[in-house]
Amino acid sequence: MERLDPFSLVADELSLIANRLRSMVVADVSNLASAAEYFFKIGAEGKRFRPTVLLLMATALNVHIPELPPAGVGDTLPTDLRTSQQRIAEITEMIHVASLLHDDVLDDADKRRGIGSLNAVMGNKLAVLAGDFLLSRACVSLASLKNTEVVTLIATVVENLVTGETMQLTTASKQRFSMDYYMQKTYNKTASLLSNSCKSIAILAGHTAEVAMLAFEYGKNLGLAFQLIDDVLDFTGTSASLGKGSLSDIRHGIITAPILFAMEEFPELHAVLDQGFKNPANVDIALGFLGKSSGIQRTKELAMKHANLAAQVIESLPESDDADVIRSRQALIDLTQRVITRNK
C-alpha cells in the first residue's frame, strides 16, 4: 500500500476551506477585521492539522448507511454532505483560533506561530474582542447546519476549552501534581475539540451512535497523543537531549507529563516545583531530575499507547471496498504515527 502523505490527500479541499475561512471572518469594522483575520492570513494559518483530520475522517466514513434517519420537518437537507462537513472544519478552526487569541492574553504571550501574538501587536482588548467575534461567527455557522446534536457537541467543546484554561490557572499543589488532573486538563484544552468535531462529522453523515463514538475516540486519542509529544518536545526540542527545547511550559510553571512522571521517581522534585520557577536555578534543578528519571521515556510510551488506540479505532470502522475510503483510513492511521514520531 502506497504510503501517501495524509496532507496531500486533502490539499485542495484545505485551500477551499482556508479561502472560505478568510471570507467568513471579514468584519465591517476595520480594526476588528484585521484582528479577526490575523491568523487566517496566508502564512499564518498554522499546520492545518485539525481540518486535515476532519476531512480525512469525512472520507473515511463515506460508507453506505443502511437506514438513514428520516429528515425532520423543516430540516434543511445539507446542500451537500461534504460541504457541511467542511463547515465543521471551518467552525473548528475558528473556535481553535479564538481560544488561541484568548490564551495568549491570559499567558501574556508575545509570539504565536512564529509571528507576534495578536495581543502584542494590537492590544489585549482587541485580541479578546476578536476572539469573541470568531466564536460568534462559528456559532452562526454552526446554527446554519441545523443539527442540534452537532450544536450541542461544539458547545461542549467551547465549555471544555474554558474549563481547561481555568484548570491551567489552578495553583493548588494537589491538583497541579496530579496526573489525572493533568490528563483531564489536556483533554479539555486539546483533545475535546478533535474528538467532538470528529464525532460531528460522523453525525452529519447520519452514522449510528457506535460509529460516531469510534470517530470520537479517534479524535480523542489522537489529540492526547499529540499533546503528550508536544510536552516532550518542549523539553527536548529537535534533539533527543534535554534542554534544547524552548522549555516554555516549565518556565511558565506549567507542569506537564514528563515532570509528573519524574516526580513519581524523585519526590524531591515536589519541593522544587512548589517554589516555582521565577528563579531560573530551579529550572535547571528540575531538568536535572528529569534527566535522571524516565519521565521523557514514559511520556513517549503513553503517547504511543494513545496513538495505537486511535489507529485501532480506525480499524474497527465498518468495512469498505472503496479506494478513497481505504486511502483516507490509511492516512488517518498514518497520522497517528506521525504525531508521535515528529520532531517539532
Partner 1 sequence: MLFCRGFSRISRIPRTSLFGFILSPPTGPSQSLLSNQYLNSTLKVCGGRETFSWGLPAFHGVGGQIHYQSSSIIEEQLDPFSLVADELSLVANRLRSMVVAEVPKLASAAEYFFKLGVEGKRFRPTVLLLMATALNIHIPEPTAGGVGDTLTTDLRTRQQSIAEITEMIHVASLLHDDVLDDADKRRGISSLNAAMGNKLAVLAGDFLLSRACVGLAALKNTEVVSLLATVVEHLVTGETMQMTTSSEQRCSMEYYMQKTYYKTASLISNSCKAIALLAGQTAEVAMLAFEYGKHLGLAFQLIDDVLDFTGTSASLGKGSLSDIQHGIVTAPILFAMEEFPQLHAIVYQGFDNPENVDIALEYLGKSHGIQRTRELAMKHANLAAAAIESLPESNDEQIRKSRRALVDLTQRVITRNN
Report the interface residues with partner 1, using CB under 8 A: 27-32, 69-70, 72-75, 102, 105-106, 108, 123-126, 128-130, 132-133, 135-137, 139-140, 142-149, 151-152, 154-156, 158-159, 161-162, 165-166, 169-170
Q: Which is nearer to partner 1, 161 or 224 (CB)?
A: 161
CA distances from 17 to 54, 214, 296, 305 (A): 12, 25, 37, 32
Q: At 182, list the grid cell.
A: 493533568
Whose CA is closest to 315, among 219, 220, 224, 214? 214
Cα(39)–Cα(170) distance, integer angstroms: 28
Question: In whole angstroms, what is the distance from residue 216 CA to residue 213 CA?
Answer: 5
Reported in sequence order, the residue ranges of 105-163 that DSSP labels E, i.e. its strands, are: 111-112, 115-116
Nearer to partner 1, 81 or 121 (CB): 121
User: Is the CB of residue 150 less than 8 Å from the CB of residue 204?
Assistant: yes
DSSP state letter for 263: H
> What are 140's three cell numbers?
452562526
**Smallest distance, partner 1 to C-beta of residue 134, A:** 10
Q: Least Å distance between CB 138 and partner 1?
A: 8
Q: Cell numbers at residue 44, please?
A: 499564518
Q: Closest CB to partner 1 among 144 and 239?
A: 144
DSSP strand E in the chain: where? Answer: 111-112, 115-116
Report, in Å, the least distance between residue 164 CB and partner 1: 11
Smallest separation (angstroms) from partner 1 to the CB of 79: 15
The neighbour count for residue 38, using CB atoms within 10 Å, is 23
The residue among 168 and 299 lying less far from partner 1, judged by its C-beta, is 168
Q: Tell me how far CA of residue 119 lies from CA of 93, 105, 231, in angstroms.
A: 19, 6, 24
Least separation in angstroms between CB 165 and partner 1:
6
Q: Identify which of residues 195 and 330 has a Cβ nearer to partner 1 in the complex.
A: 195
Q: Closest separation between CB of residue 157 and partner 1, Å?
A: 9
If the CB atoms of residues 125 and 244 are measured against partner 1, the closer one turns out to be: 125
